[in-house]
Structure 1
Amino acid sequence: MRIWNKSGWMVAAALVMAPVAANAQSAVRDSGLIVSSVEQAIAQPAARIEGFALTVDVSDRALYVMSGERVVRRFPVSVGEDGYPTPQGSFRIRHMIWNPSWTPPASSWARGKKREAPGSPGNPMGRVKMFFQEPDYYIHGSGAISSLGNARSHGCIRMRNEDAVELARLVMVNGGDPRNPQWFQQTVANRTTSRDVVLPRPVQVRIRA
């Protein structure tokens, strides 16, 4: 069952796998879970999805969780700004880091910035990052929620931390590396400790204009 609030976000946690009718497509494309913490995000069910893949629409500023050609989740994202575009094409997520550190890249925009440890308040990577083109491009959590729906990143895909955590769990389940609830609870609780995950089955990511 799906319950919608006035902003069009999906409150219920259940995944609905029925085909999306044409006149219902807009409703699904505006859906996403409402959770207010990463603890709530890891408590949501993460199911296997037939034909699982991710699509990022740069123009829509949205990330879609796909089952074949059907949209089953939509998340608002921030994409690359002018001068730092998000790469387009077909990629795969093979590797992710929970509680990542951040090292400033050798780029003019990062001049003067310092390395940030996992869990540091100044760490722009949030709670998890999923590489779609190593080493420079990834989908990652962010506390800068005002940037969502805009072109504000330096090429990466930013999400709410809570959304990134939910998405990473779906990627792990569908990428062949499910973990038990205790693993996620420990990972979220120990935010200063990084954990690497390498997927047995890489997950497809399509990025389009």
Structure 2
Amino acid sequence: MRSRLVGYFTMAAGFAGIVAGGALAAPSAEAAEPAVHDAAAPGFRIVIDLSERQLYVMHGDEVEQTYAVAVGKPQHPTPRGSFAVRRMVWNPRWVPPDAAWARDKKAREPGDPRNPMGRVKIFFRNPDYYIHGTRDTDSLGEAESHGCIRMRNDDVIALGRQVMAHGGASRSPVWWRRVLNRVRSTTEVGLSDPVPVQIRA
């Protein structure tokens, strides 16, 4: 895995400090305050490796966090390329798309345990592609989605906090308590500073 990443970031002088060994601990949904800095760090971005099924949170040349993800199936591939997060939805509703695979599916409200979106949708390519939470943790590390990126709910909450803080959308502890505790109430957030997302094969 290290040699693959070094190939991706050959221009990154400080990349040798990557810590191997899986996802780092993420703050729980009950935490009152985001575990991130209020000031945006230069070079904050998200890198997703489709073959490794990993999402990397980057600050400058350094990988700060690594998360296991599920990616698109061969018949529903996750798009590759350079994108940007400009909006996200906390506690989202799920509406089946107009696609053959979703023909018999039913809409699910926020907080419904059968809602496949989890706690947050982080859009990287509108309107159909986003990073989102999932209860189906067995799918992580696999090509199991319909093109989106799946993460554990605790992990995607931690990522969403960072994206907001570094995307010009910091919020107070009171706001976080409300959003994280009121699971049936949907909240949309726009970013004044789009967060880059790179998706590689």
SS at match of 2:30: helix
Distance 1:132 1:208 in 2: 14
Is the 8 Å Cα contact of residues 28 and 71 (structure 1) preserved in structure 2?
no
Counterpart of 1:100 (choices 92, 95, 114) is 92
108-117 vs 44-53, greater mean Cα deviation: 44-53
The question of 1:39 aligning with 2:30 is answered yes
Q: State the match for 1:138 in structure 2.
A: 130
Unaligned runs of 5+ in 2: 1-12
SS at match of 2:169: coil
What is the deviation of 1:182? 1.0
- The alignment's C-alpha RMSD in Å is 1.6
The question of 1:205 aligning with 2:192 is answered no
Q: State the match for 2:117 in structure 1.
A: 125
Q: State the match for 1:151 in structure 2.
A: 143
Unaligned runs of 5+ in 1: 1-18
Distance 1:183 1:114 in 2: 30
Residue identity matched to 1:45: A
Is the 8 Å Cα contact of residues 33 and 176 (structure 2) preserved in structure 1?
no
Q: State the match for 1:113 in structure 2.
A: 105
What is the deviation of 1:44? 5.0
Measured against aligned partners, the alpha-carbon deviations of 1:151-197 in whole angstroms (never above 9, x if no partner) come to 10000000000000000000000000100111111011111010000
Distance 2:33 2:21 in 1: 23
What is the deviation of 1:204? 0.3
Runs of 4+ in 1 over 6 A off after TM superposition: none
Distance 1:21 1:75 in 2: 17
Is the 8 Å Cα contact of residues 125 and 142 (structure 1) preserved in structure 2?
yes
Residue identity matched to 1:46: V
Residue identity matched to 2:29: V
Distance 1:158 1:88 in 2: 16
Distance 2:14 2:22 in 1: 13
What is the deviation of 1:67? 1.2
Distance 1:186 1:63 in 2: 27
The question of 1:73 aligning with 2:60 is answered no
SS at match of 1:109: helix
SS at match of 1:46: coil
**TM, length-normalised to structure 2:** 0.88
